[in-house]
Structure formats: structure tokens, C-alpha cells
Structure 1
């Protein structure tokens, strides 16, 4: 089980909460199936499908935030509301007013909710007390914010802040492209995005394209900065670094797949994969921070 994206947060103090203590705190907002009259339900769920809200392996914690949303498109609500409004108009001889339409729409929504189909999704959270990281497998900061807000409701005085580096990712990536040289331990891959800082936000994207120094120099000289850059770390993991310090499209390469412990059963294979992922991604993060000049304190 590998995270596909990393929203990165730093634990500012040593982590002293045990797995059992964290389980008890998360149980305050445990996931339950969305009720018939609700649009959404959200809470902490077991990462391994058992009664434990924290899966601990090798001093690493894995959590799972579950969200179940009812599929009730606004187009369906509007269609039924319009049909019901026509019926009312025929009965009473005049069309419902604005306030009546608002109330009718609310009633229609309440009627349709119990019949709407619920879709459940999960967002994985990895807490690394050893290296003091908190990582969320989410492609957008808004989803990470959901996780953090719920975590803060459960855990008192969580020592957490966003990762900040001495050199901004945008400045560093632009410099790497301008010099046609990746930092030590990394190689530059074929995808990149350069964006102008002017009002028009002119953007150039390269996808599966071997970057030529003349091409990138031309755009950089014109005032564009690198906002996304595909890279490979240590010939083990490919990823995309963004200007907001998100790490996306993480993919373990064959050298890791060949060397991992297969285990004798599903649980052992999962744990072996988790140990491998946490060890490699922690090293990757350390090298990314080093390449960006270290942490800003």
C-alpha cells in the first residue's frame, strides 16, 4: 500500500501519544454509516477493517478518515421540484412564489435523501513519530484541511504546522531547470510546468517530453517560474514536486518492487509494504528538504 500523494506537515514537538491513546482519542469521532436523512457522514475508520482505529507498525501509525456522501445531484432535485411546482400551480391556480419554491425544494431534498445512494471514500494518514512527520494521502490541500480539522477535534494540543523550507520549491525548481542540473540524488524527468508571475498567468506544460535547456531557458528568461517538476529520487521513486511543497504522483519503481518482502499472508504483506513505504518516503522527504536548503525555523 503506497501513498499516491503527500500533503506534508511537521510535528513541532516529540510525539508522546501511544497507539492505544490515539485510538481512544479518535473514537470520539468514529465513522458511522450516513443516516437516511443526512447528506454526509465523516469520521475515523479502521485502516485494516478491524476494530482498531490506529494501525501501528515499526513505530509508525496509519489512520483512515472515512467519508460517505449521498449521490443526489442538484439536477435531480431541480427536476422533481419543477414538476411538483407545476402540480401546485394547477391545484391553486397560480405559481408558487420564491419563498414557497425554496421551501418546496427543501422538502423534495428531504424526500429524496433516504433513496439516494451513498458512496464511501477513505483518506489515509501516516504519522511518523520517529522523524516527526504527519503525511496525508490527498491530492488537494482542501482534503488535507478536512483531515487536520477532524484530527484537532480529537487530539488536544496537537503540535502541528506546515513544512517550510529555506528555499521555496518554485525558486529551487526554476534554478535546477535553468542550470540543467538536478540536486544530488535526484534526476529530472519529462513532465514540468512553468508559469508566469504576470497578471495573465501564462502557463507552459511539458508532458512526457525530454526537456531541452534552450526551451526552458527561453521560458525562464521570459519571466516564467517552475511550479511543477517530475523527478526521480535515488532510482527508487518517481514523483512530482509542486511550488506549494506538495509531492504528487508517487510511484515506487521496479527496484523497490523486486526487493520487498512478500510475506506469508495478506496481513504480513501489508505490514511489510507499509514498513518499506514509510522508510523510503521518510528518506525521500529528508532529501527533498535538504535540496531546498533545509527547514525554515
Structure 2
């Protein structure tokens, strides 16, 4: 249940939709196998997997939903080989070279014929909706996957106005300052051991792991004009993560004390009770630390224009 990555979004002009109405809407977009002509399909599935049937879990204003992404795997190499073989047969039979347009049409034909026989790969992506703070967070390492989930939620609700969470101070500027000036670091923050430094020119990107971020080598790189685009941080010994320059949180790790606290919850072997207990403890921690992070970045940026709407 514990999230590993978070893409954060601010929800705007949100009318509260009752949980019962939301679950009905989710059911209308429930997951099903892709049709024979569909390369991929997204739909809602129970967050508890086989242990439950509910598409929505809501506790104290915190909502948990899960998307099942199913994609047919049709390697480009398989299509290319079949196209080449069929094309060679046609050219030998007709004694001529296929035109470019004919080859493209043949490729499309082969793709359509092979797609229904392709294997299906499934991936689940969790969505956390904090109705108290109008915050949506998606547990995915990929921004593209997160946007796909938002598109499905938009389709499910009929409209959805969201923008990626943004702060007054750009994360890159703040991370660079925290690295360069120890006195600028908030009292509850500790640096981790990972960093990504970008150069202003064409000198590329430098990535370092398991390093002392206060070392002379790092300070020299900063003095030369490099800026931090990723930085490993730990907050109050409760949560560690890698902060990215787009405010994405990756490689989330919750403290052993927090995990132990979760494990102490009595669930009597009930998977739903365990899921919901872990979810509540996790979201309480994440909500507090996200608010703290926003404060470190001088508050949330103004959202004069909405980027996500329907």
C-alpha cells in the first residue's frame, strides 16, 4: 500500500461529489480487457485487489482509487519482420518494388492482424484524492502515466480542473541553495546522499549516489554554476524522498518507526482493514510533509490560468 512515487496536482473549483455518486461513476468506467482492436485500455479496479470489490475507499476525506492499465504487447521487430516477408513476396510475385505508401499500408494491415493475438501487460496505478486540501496525488514514476490517470478521472467525472502543484520558489533554485548554504536548510530537513546537477551550458548532467553532499567536490560544482535538479531529502526522520525540479517526489521511503506503527494495528487478518489502516497512516504523514515542503518553497504559486480542464 505504501506509495513509492508521487506526482502532485492542485484541484480547482471542485464541487464535492458524494462517495456513493463517485463510486457509481467509477463503475461506469470499470476495467475490462482491451478489445481486439485496442492497443491499450484504462479502467478503475478495486484498490484491495482480489480481497475486495469496492472501487473507492474513503476515510476522513481521504480517497483511494486504483487504475488498471492494460496494454497489448506487440514488438515493433515482430511487425517489421512480417512486413518485410510479405513485402518481399509481393515484389517477387509482381516483379516490382513496393511504393512507400504501399509499404505503410501493409504495415498497418499487419499491425491490425497481429494486435488481437498480442499478450496483455497489466499495471496498477493508485490515486490519492485529499478532499480536505483539494490535492490529488498519483503513485507513478512516469508523468505520462500520471496524466493518463487524470484523463480517465476527467472522463469519469465529466470535467476536472487540475494543475501540477507549483510553488513560489522553484524547486531547482531552493535545492541549489540548500546544497550550497547549510544555514539555509530548514531545521527539520536532512540531506540524503543523492543529487543530480545540471549545467547551464552544454556540459550535460552529473548524477551522484552515496556521496557526501556537503563535500568540497559538490561545492566546487555548485560554484562553477551547476544547479540541483534532483536532491535526496529526509524530513524529521519520518519520510525520505528524492525531490525533482518539477516538484515530483520519487523513491519515497517511510521510516521504520512509521511502518512499525502501522504493523501494530490489529486487523484480524482482514485485508481491507489492513489496507485502510495503512492508507490513513500514510496519507496523514504525506499530507503533513507535503505542506511542510510547500512552506519551505515559500508557499504555493498563483494559479491564474488552469492547464487541466475539460
**Scaled by the length of structure 2, what TM-score is found?**
0.89
1:191 aligns to what?
Answer: 194
Map 1:259-274 → 2, pairs under 5 A:
259-260=261-262, 261-265=265-269, 266-274=271-279
- When structure 1 is superposed on structure 2, of 258-267 and 131-140 the one drifting more is 258-267
- CA 1:11 to 1:201, structure 2 compared with 1: closer, same or farther past 3 Å? farther
- Per-residue displacement from partner, 1:192-243 (whole Å, max 9, x unpaired)? 1111122x05322220111234223212221111111101111011100111
2:6 and 2:251 mapped to 1: Cα distance? 9
1:52 aligns to what?
Answer: 54
**Dislocated runs of 4+, deviation >4 Å:** none
Q: Does 1:23 align with 2:23?
A: yes
Map 1:156-167 → 2, pairs under 5 A:
156-167=158-169
2:289 aligns to what?
Answer: 284
1:222 aligns to what?
Answer: 224
Structure 2 segments unaligned to the other structure (5+ residues): 303-310
Offset, 1:126: 0.3
1:147 aligns to what?
Answer: 149
1:231 aligns to what?
Answer: 233
Q: Does 1:180 align with 2:168?
A: no
2:68 and 2:219 mapped to 1: Cα distance? 45
1:157 and 1:112 mapped to 2: Cα distance? 36
- CA 1:4 to 1:94, structure 2 compared with 1: closer, same or farther past 3 Å? same
1:25 and 1:142 mapped to 2: Cα distance? 23
1:33 aligns to what?
Answer: 33
- When structure 1 is superposed on structure 2, of 271-280 and 181-190 the one drifting more is 181-190
- 1:293 pairs, out of 274, 295, 298, with 298
1:177·1:213 contact (CA, 8 Å) conserved in 2?
no
Secondary structure of 2:122 counterpart: strand
Offset, 1:262: 4.9
1:262·1:272 contact (CA, 8 Å) conserved in 2?
no
2:87 and 2:141 mapped to 1: Cα distance? 41
- When structure 1 is superposed on structure 2, of 86-95 and 123-132 the one drifting more is 86-95
1:10·1:132 contact (CA, 8 Å) conserved in 2?
yes
Offset, 1:175: 1.0
Offset, 1:121: 0.9
Offset, 1:127: 0.1
1:227·1:242 contact (CA, 8 Å) conserved in 2?
yes
Alpha carbon RMSD of aligned pairs, Å? 1.8
Secondary structure of 2:96 counterpart: coil
2:117 aligns to what?
Answer: 115
Structure 1 segments unaligned to the other structure (5+ residues): none
Offset, 1:77: 0.6
2:175 and 2:266 mapped to 1: Cα distance? 37
- When structure 1 is superposed on structure 2, of 43-52 and 244-253 the one drifting more is 43-52
Offset, 1:150: 2.1
**Aligned pair count?**
296
2:256 aligns to what?
Answer: 254
Offset, 1:13: 4.4
- When structure 1 is superposed on structure 2, of 149-158 and 249-258 the one drifting more is 149-158
Secondary structure of 1:164 counterpart: coil
1:95 aligns to what?
Answer: 97
Offset, 1:157: 4.3
- Per-residue displacement from partner, 1:157-187 (whole Å, max 9, x unpaired)? 4342222212111111111111125312111
